[in-house]
Structure 1
Amino acid sequence: MKSLNDQIAISIREKKTHRPFVLAAIVIGMFMAAIEGTIVSTAMPGIVADLGGFSKFSWVFSAYLLMSAVTVLIYGKLSDLFGRKPIFVFGVFVFLIGSILCGFAESMELLIVYRLIQGLGAGAVQPIATTIVGDMYTMEERAKIQGYLASVWGISAVLGPALGGVFVQYLDWAWVFWMNVPLGILSVIGVILFLHEEIEKRERRIDYVGAGLLLISISSLMVVLIEGGVAWAWTSLPAISLLGVFGIGLVLFIFYESKVEEPVMPLSLWKDPLIALSNSATFTTGIILIGVSSFLPTFVQGVMEEPPIVAGFTLTTMSIGWPIASTIAGRLILTIGFRATSLIGGVSLILGAIFYILMNPSLGPIWAGAGSFLIGVGMGLTATTFIVSIQNSVDWKKRGIATASNMFMRTLGSAVGAALLGGILNTRLKDFLSSNQEKAGQALSIDTANSLLDEEKRQSLSPDVLSVLQDGLTFSLKSVYIGLLLLAIASFILVFFLPKPQKSKVIKK
């Protein structure tokens, strides 16, 4: 038996990919991305309490997700042209730079800017890691490995909320971002040493115009969704103008992508019903995911008056349900097929959304956690199924962009969802506070809700003001959760029309 050091030396000398070590590096990288979601969501109430700017709450998520959504397609295409390794390494380093800067942010505006930088790198981490797995393993192996990778979400779910709560309560929320640094460095070292690729040498062209059109159109839509009904009337000139920019930009993007030789988003992918429906359902489930992770801790802390650690563990149940379901999905795909596995996940999403609609402060965090668990099960069964089925339907030269297209739709869904649901929350809360100022005995604004997320400030509020703020947040979030139910139903309908199970063929490099 060769020692571990001997195996490492042979792998480096012979320049052969050592799958166990590459998989370990990928797991660390995905853990970094996974824990980012749970730990930041848990810390956000504390960040808002420190920096202020409740009305900008959604932008912290939207800025990160916007840049991730736009760059994921570029990274996917670049990985098909230049290989997975250099793109993954570049993405991780940019992500770490953004993480370090986020920890030093002194205002909500600066935090949003630094989250843009973090998102610029995040666009490469998870999709390229998932693509590498698709390269190294056959279809039968992928179904199992993707399930194992999903267990990363379970581990991060346990550690993320707990660490987030500890950092906010006992240290500083900056450590929420700084803890990414050692994880990213370890991941990069593993990929550099043990992943070796043979890239076909040919002329390479990057579709920067297409990426730019996508950035302009999606950014315009998100600004309108967040500010519409709050800073601007829906029929105001800025809102209408930006909607026009979105529409024109989208049309130009589709037209340009149909003509360019190396498109950032090959429209031919969407001609495959499996890819088109999987990506569409991934978009709607992406909105559901951000709706739960962004706003549930706020409700648990601000209305239920629970500490950050308890709020974090209501999200933990979602991330525990996800890997369990993903592991099961890996086996179900091989027995009952893609469509049936996804349908079961769709039902779980609907049940989870119903739990949220029925939720009220008296039911406590256990009820919130149960709803999160069902959402996690639904995400695990659908997300794993979509990735495995898409990767099995294309060859190596398109696997990077095909995988990236699915990640793009999830990230785009989360980006649009953060803006859309945040806009709904702000609009409903603004209307509620305006109509209940007499009951509160003073004028209230959206930013007054900052006080709900700081225990000392909350205790200093008069009973009438506290009641109005908590009732307003409950009322506003009810509208958000109704939206989640409608999206869960839409996801189920899309999954229902997926192609029926067929005998799978393994497509190798």
Structure 2
Amino acid sequence: MSEARDARRVSLLLGLLFGLAGMGSSSAAIALPAVADEFGASIGVAAWTISGYVLMLAVATPIYGRVSDLVGVRIPLLVGVGLMTLGALGATVATSFELLLVARLLQGAGAAAVPTLGVTLISARYDGRVRSGALGRLAAVAAAVSCVGPLLGGAVEHVLDWRAVMALPICGLLVLPLIWQAVAGDGSRARLDLLGAALVAATSAGLVMIVQSPSAGRLVGLIGTVLCLLGAPLVARRVRHHPHGFLPATVIRNPTVIRSAVVGATVPASWFALLIGVPAALVGHGWEPWRVGLLLLPSAGVALLMPKVAAHLLERHGGTRVLAMAAMTSSVSLVVGALGTAQTAPIAVGVAVMLTTASFGFGQPAMITAVGDAVHDDVRGAALGIATLLFLVGGSIGSAVVAGLGEPLGIPGSLLVLALLPLVALVTVIPGLGRAAKASELSEDR
């Protein structure tokens, strides 16, 4: 089999697996009103089933990335899909909101294996245009499957109930045997820095808890503040004293990795914000969940167009500039989404989701390409894990802002607040844009 054909098959399967993991949020978002009714909770509290899932998706991601550097991709991928399946099964039989939340946290911890290990595998297996195309295809298929999630979730809830919706990611087990041969390979067999991993996870969790505190309560905000205040300096100290530990110093001190990850984080922030905000707003105005899903379906078509678009943009403009384009698109999508939900305008809402789907489709490959090219092979998994950590923490922040500020400001107001995040993040990428332009001019002169 040619490299291009192999890359197409592997990226399609990994994208499908990634999409099924993402469906744990997109389909579950449709079920939030039913979950709230079942357990007598508000939508803001019920949204913890999404925020908690995305939180664990974020904090466990760098662990899988670093483990893959040490032992290869196969074992952590098997563990991750197993945990994702176990959590999905637990959510279907939960008898209380607390048990449901625990199951969703477990599900998110398992699903975290897919995005990092997928991009790590593709980055190590292919080069050049083949790699760019494979990364774009992975992101596109993942986004397309996630976009189908609301429609599938709404239909399943209509025919069965919300518990069946929570079980949809179990289908990932069917994909695993098809990808099994491609994930063979060994790592360095070095030891994992467990303390460093725990400190990073605790600090990340604290950040999301602070954002979620307006709806979750002062205690959650206090715990999050303590975790951040204690965790951040301890993480910095750990990196200084263990430069080859969980967070390799060569990765943390690499400005391309950090800048790309920070700007890239704004893309899933808009994605998850709209996935929660749009269904909540429209269902609140009397829409059936399946109608909401049908409205979001065209976004799947947009996602499938993105691989060629992403490859073309990356080849022509480079990762930094494409990231800036993605951030701007994300900001616009949130503004359009805010106007659409405020006026209950279906066309505006659909356009908003299509815009954020497009930004995801070319923003994630741009981030992965920039990070993967900026580090050495022996820390690529760690670098991609850290970048994906910030990427998915952005998703946690997006869902947390809508859930936390949705009640005091309304969903349109929370989306407008979040629209400022990409603009702020762009400030961090302006120096990189200047250097990228100069490098491009020098290359052309030669």
- State TM-score, norm by structure 1: 0.78
Q: Is the 8 A contact 1:205 1:262 kept in 2?
A: no
Q: 1:91 to 1:135 in 2, by over 3 A?
A: same
Q: 1:314 to 1:272 in 2, by over 3 A?
A: farther
Structure 1 counterpart of 2:364: 383
Q: 2:228 aligns with which of 219, 240, 246?
A: 246
Distance of 1:190 and 1:328 partners within structure 2: 27
- RMSD over aligned Cα atoms: 2.6
Distance of 2:146 and 2:64 partners within structure 1: 27
1:408, distance to aligned residue in structure 2 (A): 0.5
Matching residue's letter, 1:248 = L
Structure 1 counterpart of 2:203: 217
Instruction: Specify every segment of 5 or more residues in structure 1 that has no aligned partner in the other structure, as ranges.
Output: 1-6, 8-16, 429-474, 504-509
Q: 1:231 to 1:21 in 2, by over 3 A?
A: closer
Q: 1:247 to 1:489 in 2, by over 3 A?
A: same
Q: Is the 8 A contact 2:401 2:418 kept in 1?
A: no
1:229, distance to aligned residue in structure 2 (A): 7.0
Check if 1:301 corresponds to 2:301: no
Q: 1:86 to 1:157 in 2, by over 3 A?
A: closer
Structure 1 counterpart of 2:412: 478
Q: 1:121 aligns with which of 103, 110, 126?
A: 110
Check if 1:231 corresponds to 2:220: no
1:320, distance to aligned residue in structure 2 (A): 4.1
Q: 2:265 aligns with which of 276, 283, 289?
A: 283
Q: 1:84 aligns with which of 39, 62, 73?
A: 73
Structure 1 counterpart of 2:152: 163
Q: 1:386 to 1:223 in 2, by over 3 A?
A: closer
Q: 1:361 to 1:212 in 2, by over 3 A?
A: closer
Q: 2:28 aligns with which of 25, 40, 56?
A: 40
Q: 1:207 aligns with which of 193, 209, 232?
A: 193
Distance of 1:100 and 1:490 partners within structure 2: 40
Report % sequence identity: 22
Distance of 1:393 and 1:22 partners within structure 2: 24
Q: Is the 8 A contact 1:157 1:320 kept in 2?
A: no
Q: Which is further off, 311-320 or 325-334?
A: 311-320
Check if 1:490 corresponds to 2:424: yes
Deviations 1:180-215 (A, max 9, x none): 22x322332123334332544x5x221111222233
Distance of 1:164 and 1:344 partners within structure 2: 31
Work out the number of aligned pairs and report it.
433
Q: 1:136 to 1:231 in 2, by over 3 A?
A: closer
Q: Which is further off, 131-140 or 326-335?
A: 326-335
Q: Is the 8 A contact 1:162 1:312 kept in 2?
A: yes
Distance of 1:170 and 1:107 partners within structure 2: 23
Report SS of the residue matched to 2:24.
Answer: helix
Distance of 1:400 and 1:154 partners within structure 2: 22
Q: Is the 8 A contact 1:22 1:195 kept in 2?
A: no
Q: Is the 8 A contact 2:211 2:404 kept in 1?
A: yes
Distance of 2:361 and 2:245 partners within structure 1: 30
1:395, distance to aligned residue in structure 2 (A): 3.2
Instruction: Specify every segment of 5 or more residues in structure 2 that has no aligned partner in the other structure, as ranges.
Output: 441-446
Higher share in helix: 2
Report SS of the residue matched to 1:372.
Answer: helix
Structure 2 counterpart of 1:500: 436
- State TM-score, norm by structure 2: 0.88
Report SS of the residue matched to 2:229.
Answer: helix
Distance of 2:270 and 2:423 partners within structure 1: 11
Check if 1:273 corresponds to 2:207: no
Query: Residues 321-470 of structure 1: matches in 2 within 5 Å?
Result: 321-360=302-341, 362-426=343-407, 428=408
Matching residue's letter, 2:267 = T
1:57, distance to aligned residue in structure 2 (A): 2.1
Distance of 1:179 and 1:350 partners within structure 2: 30
Q: 1:261 to 1:129 in 2, by over 3 A?
A: same
Q: 1:413 to 1:186 in 2, by over 3 A?
A: same
Check if 1:148 corresponds to 2:137: yes
Q: 1:38 to 1:229 in 2, by over 3 A?
A: closer
Which structure has the bigger radius of gyration?
A: 1
1:136, distance to aligned residue in structure 2 (A): 1.4
1:278, distance to aligned residue in structure 2 (A): 0.6
Check if 1:97 corresponds to 2:86: yes
Deviations 1:374-425 (A, max 9, x none): 2222222322211122112223212211111121111112223333432222
Distance of 1:368 and 1:381 partners within structure 2: 21
Structure 1 counterpart of 2:443: none
Distance of 1:344 and 1:220 partners within structure 2: 30
Q: 1:352 to 1:228 in 2, by over 3 A?
A: closer
Matching residue's letter, 1:486 = L
Structure 2 counterpart of 1:466: none
Q: Which is further off, 352-361 or 20-29?
A: 20-29
Q: 1:243 to 1:98 in 2, by over 3 A?
A: same
1:317, distance to aligned residue in structure 2 (A): 4.3
Matching residue's letter, 1:30 = F
1:167, distance to aligned residue in structure 2 (A): 1.0
Distance of 1:238 and 1:56 partners within structure 2: 12
1:316, distance to aligned residue in structure 2 (A): 3.5
Report SS of the residue matched to 2:271.
Answer: helix
1:23, distance to aligned residue in structure 2 (A): 4.2
Q: 1:216 to 1:358 in 2, by over 3 A?
A: same
Report SS of the residue matched to 2:31.
Answer: helix
